[in-house]
Structure 1
């Protein structure tokens, strides 16, 4: 009798836990408290589950309470809200780090470290490195922007000491950058390393142009104004490219509609509703309405994004790095730390053009100054006496570095021009090559899917005018 009573209590507790699991699913799912088992939990297991659930519920309430206090009182310039939702201070950055203490204890006791201990320590350190800010409290500082600020000047000055060091450094730089790219690309995480490297390279090359090349007297005012204007135009175009790439958002008008098309289909009239199409059934078309609805349902299911919870329009894609769906997604560019889509593709192309013209012109001026007796086209390969002075060697090394960067961006610009001429995005080209559904030439440089092409003039006309069809983004949506 007592066993039956105990069994009934355990069953009731089990169903109570299931109800709590439904009500507080995020808490239990994050800890993996429930596992697939057919055994009845013991009293001790039930007590541990209730205890952990109570602790998590209390911590969640405390975090909400502190967040509410922060919203009401505000933060001072040195305070911030940490990754647990609690108020913290910059002065306490070295306090209360259980992960670091545990790792140190294991190190001194010669015990093996936990697999996730180093990543947890890195997460805590990156969360606590802050810069005091007057509005909104201390701002988080991304550590990935620091290495380019230190390594680039150091390596370029090292390469200027001797031509053998220059060869080693200039050959190692692309390898290091590619290694870091594949390392971060495998984790599908965002990083400011490449954006920091791009901006600091541009700023540092301009600084050396002003302080090393200009005092030599071979550059006039017109050349200086041209280079300065090119740098300013490049930065302005980059700033515009960093805006919203065209994120797919769910409009209020589309909540109750079954299917909304964002691109005109050949068998539908799209002259109404601002380019969107409304399907009206007539007596003649009711016979095939079932098949049509089935095709539309299948298309919606195929274009459904489970992460963003939206139906992607044609040619839209989901970026796993940014975590959003982008209209006419071309690719995610690590050099701008943003996606290139329908809204910023034109400004991205303009940024490449401005940078390449500025870089090529600056390289030619620098080579004419340090190698006056040589032709600009051959000065990079043969410039006798350039390592006799450290200043000329530094300018020559920077000219080589700029030439390598310019060569890579020239290839990127060429690929973009070819894709635009065939009305294909980089994402569509890679998918077509992978599925072998497109014609390719010149080792995959030219890819023609033949799906959206309208001829050379029509493709470029669509590219130039495609950003005008979008709604202007609000200031809160800017990247």
Structure 2
């Protein structure tokens, strides 16, 4: 070493809290090193809020804000870039999780609707499929010509049918016997030419899932429709408030305001057009959903409403008269939610 030459100090450099973090570690709001597994531990703001709730004391706004800041800071996922755990933006993560969960439930209820047809009996052409179907509630019978003639002789004259019935009236008589299935159709049932089967409490045949809606799957179908509407309208709202400059109303609701720059770039334009198509599909579904709500409120099916329209029993556009199944708005909805829609009257 030469004399008169100053050498650099080799004292160790102090390591900051953010250096040397593993994929699951991070620096919290207090500048301390923490781990994502400890996200539910030692939350002073939450402890104070719960304590004040038990004491029936007022919770300051600052305490609530501190709790949400802590929650937002601890919502992280492991990082892969050597800078510790990455914070998740709750403003983006929470709506995405809500949409994904709602969409998954919608698919589940549509599948449940598809797998639970309310089939009473398949047509003669599909008699072999009936033997292996687990949804068929009535076995095949050996119907003789005498039995058919006997059933035809018991068909009720049109003038005696004073109630709303889902079964058609042909040649001045209420058709009780199904010629396709060789089966006496019970009240509120109907034959579907697409499914080639008689359906219990048939409402309609949904072409989108290729399945008849009846007593077994009507509830799941309504739930799937409601989830479709939620996903459609909420997704449209999220897209429009993202591609347009939003404004805050009532301190909590965002509404798109300035949409002049939608076609500046390709991604924004595609998002806007997709949102418009989503809105159109949601509006069409909303019309069908409102129609179903009106029918359920008076305990009527689409097929019964159609037959009532043909017989002149429709009043006030969407209501029917002489509906013996109508027990009032509240009782109709209680019956629809908690029981299957079956006929309990003395209708032939």
Alpha carbons 1:344, 1:467 under 8 Å: kept: no
The 8 Å contact of residues 219 and 365 in structure 1, kept in 2 or not, is answered as no
Contact 1:218 1:369 in 2 (8 A): no
1:409 aligns with 2:266: no
Instruction: Please say if 1:233 is aligned against 2:109.
Output: no
How many Å separate the matches in 2 of 1:310 and 1:303? 9
User: 1:248 aligns to what SS in structure 2?
Assistant: strand
Aligned counterparts, 1:45-444, within 5 A: 220-249=92-121, 251=138, 297-298=154-155, 302-373=175-246, 379=256, 383-439=259-315, 441=316, 444=317
Distance in 2 (CA, whole Å) between partners of 1:219 and 1:398 is: 22
Distance 1:252 1:337 in 2: 24
The TM-score, its normalising length taken from structure 2, stands at 0.55
Q: Matches of 2:342 and 2:306 in 1, distance apart?
A: 26
**CA-to-aligned-CA distance 1:307-366 (integer Å, 9 cap, x gap):** 011111101001111111100100111111111111110000000011111221111111
Aligned mates of 1:367, 1:468 — CA distance in 2: 41
**More helix as a share of residues:** 1
- Kept in 1, the 8 Å contact 2:152–2:177? The answer is no
1 or 2, which has the higher strand percentage? 2
Q: In the aligned structure 1, how far is the partner of 2:138 from the partner of 2:216? A: 17
Aligned match of 2:337: 464
2:243 and 2:326 map into 1 onto residues whose CA distance is 48
Partner of 2:20: none
Unaligned 5+ runs, structure 2 = 1-88, 122-136, 144-149, 157-172, 344-348
Structure scoring higher RCO (CA < 8 A, sep ≥ 6) equals: 2
Aligned-CA RMSD value: 3.1
Distance 2:198 2:255 in 1: 47
Greater radius of gyration (CA): 2
Aligned residues: 214
1:15-60 alpha-carbon deviations (Å, 9 max, x no partner): xxxxxxxxxxxxxxxxxxxxxxxxxxxxxxxxxxxxxxxxxxxxxx
Change (3 A) 1:353 1:222: same
Cα 1:246/1:424, change in 2 over 3 Å: same
Equivalent residue of 2:115, what SS?
coil
Partners of 1:238 and 1:347 within 8 A in 2: yes
Q: Secondary structure at the match of 2:194?
A: coil
Q: CA deviation at 1:461?
A: 2.4
Distance, in Å, in 2 between the alignment partners of 1:253 and 1:398 is 50
